[in-house]
Structure 1
Amino acid sequence: MGWLFYTDRRVKTYADEKAEVTRLCTFETDSRKTVLVKASKVGSTWYAAARVTSLDGSPVEDATYVTDEDGSITFGAVFLTRYDDGCWGYKDMEESAGPVESRAPPGLLGLLSELKDPDSYAHAWRQRCRDWAAIPDYQEGDRIRLAAPMTLTDGSTCQIVTATHYRRGRQKRRCYRIEETAGLVRLSKDTLAGSELVSSAKGGSSPVLAEFLAGQES
């Protein structure tokens, strides 16, 4: 399915977006009813868990999902969203239909029904979401070992870095100091997947943190 934009501009706020996602996940067919269980927005993407029940009370049979004990199934959905000239638009996908965005919170994933095929796209999507959630939120001064050496634009590599920051105007931007060269590099959160904490700024004196604090006092 492609993008659908609301040219009447009735969707303007976070609350408007959530109400629309709720409406889109709430409907009935001749035999089934679907309702939203939970929706979470990460960046510009909405992630939803929607429960399907049979109108006659019989267990829901589905090729993708294992029926839950209460006879229902709960599936994951992804809503890409953006504004174009003030008009809100969305593109929706069920989790088994190939969404690339994979930052659904663990609490939402925990509501979804089990999958019948462990090699399905939905299974891989859920694992990518869990991998994203597992990436640590490192603090100023933490010393980190990347999962594998990373090649930089100048051809050099680095694997041990220390979390620090630089300033651009009034904004403080996260960056990392390369242990081998003391140079600074920006790393995306994806790059930190599989990394490990070598030493914590909380556990002892950190040269980077000390330098930062000294700058604040001067």
Structure 2
Amino acid sequence: MTAAGMGEHKTPKQYLDAQLNYTRPATDDAPFQGCRVLKSICPGNRTYYAAIERFDENGKRIYVTAVVCLVQWNPRAADGYIFGYKDMDEESGPVEAEASEAILELLTSSKHPWALDWRRRCYRNLKLKKRDLPDGCLIRFPSPMKFTDGSEHSEFRVKKEGRKTVLVPPSGYGRFHVSRLMERHFEIVREPKIAKTFFPAA
């Protein structure tokens, strides 16, 4: 859609929040529907995650579920179509599983296998991101990674440069950057500590 199509909303998050806050009176063909956003995020304007509360005509909660929207956002699009999205709920088993802990904690219980799998994947990704990656540690990926210079490596020494994390092969030659590093699977290699030898004074 164009900016005009988004109305007064200036960001994907604002637009999607508005779409998911609504009430629809009962008709002869459909019962009352009430929906409100309890918490939402849209990191990088790439994927929108929200905890959505469904409620009845009296405003009483029925359940809280998760909604995920794939977002296409290009404010400088030459044709003027700056925004698009595809929405699904957690029971559709979204591939994207980066919902925040604050959203996950708001969800009510579910027995749907795809929803449960999605929640497990979200918590797994949160656990990966919380790993401590100290400067100088050695990490190992399950298989070698190929880089633009043609080299392949599976082990790296972590080098912190301010907010930037650089990976250096154990040989010391080369400096590499791996996108979304903390979301990837790797192990922190426990290296043996070499005890210093002390010689008593004669």
Please say whether Structure 1 and Structure 2 have the same fold, judged by a TM-score greater than 0.5.
yes
8 Å contact from structure 2 (residues 54, 61) kept in 1: no
8 Å contact from structure 1 (residues 35, 51) kept in 2: yes
Where does residue 7 of structure 2 map in the other structure?
Answer: 10
Where does residue 188 of structure 2 map in the other structure?
Answer: 196
Determine which of 153, 158, 174 is the counterpart of 2:154: 158
Shift of 1:197: 7.2
Answering whether residue 153 of structure 2 is matched by residue 186 of structure 1, we say no
Determine which of 51, 54, 58 is the counterpart of 1:52: 54
Where does residue 214 of structure 1 map in the other structure?
Answer: none
**Mapped partners of 2:187, 2:66: distance in 1:** 28
**Mapped partners of 2:107, 2:14: distance in 1:** 21
Determine which of 120, 132, 135 is the counterpart of 1:141: 135
8 Å contact from structure 2 (residues 36, 53) kept in 1: yes
Which structure has the higher relative contact order (CA within 8 Å, separation 6+)? 1
8 Å contact from structure 1 (residues 50, 77) kept in 2: yes
- Give 4+ residue runs of structure 1 displaced > 4 Å after superposition: 137-140, 153-156
What is the percentage of aligned positions where both structures have the same residue?
Answer: 19
Where does residue 126 of structure 1 map in the other structure?
Answer: 119
In structure 2, the residue corresponding to 1:102 is in which secondary structure?
coil
Shift of 1:131: 2.4
8 Å contact from structure 1 (residues 49, 77) kept in 2: yes
- 5 Å-filtered alignment, 1:68-83, equals 72-81=62-71, 82-83=73-74
Shift of 1:198: 5.0
**Two-structure CA RMSD over aligned residues (Å):** 3.2
**Mapped partners of 2:8, 2:95: distance in 1:** 25
Q: Deviations over 1:100-150 (max 9, x none)?
A: 222111111111122203xx2222222222222222476672414235243
Shift of 1:76: 0.6
**Mapped partners of 1:173, 1:50: distance in 2:** 35
Answering whether residue 29 of structure 2 is matched by residue 27 of structure 1, we say no
TM-score, length-normalised on structure 1?
0.64
Query: Structure 2: which 5+ residue stretches go unaligned?
Result: 27-31, 192-202
Determine which of 115, 118, 122 is the counterpart of 2:110: 115
Instruction: Give the greater-gyration-radius structure (CA).
Output: 2
Moved more, 45-54 or 146-155: 146-155
**Mapped partners of 1:106, 1:158: distance in 2:** 30
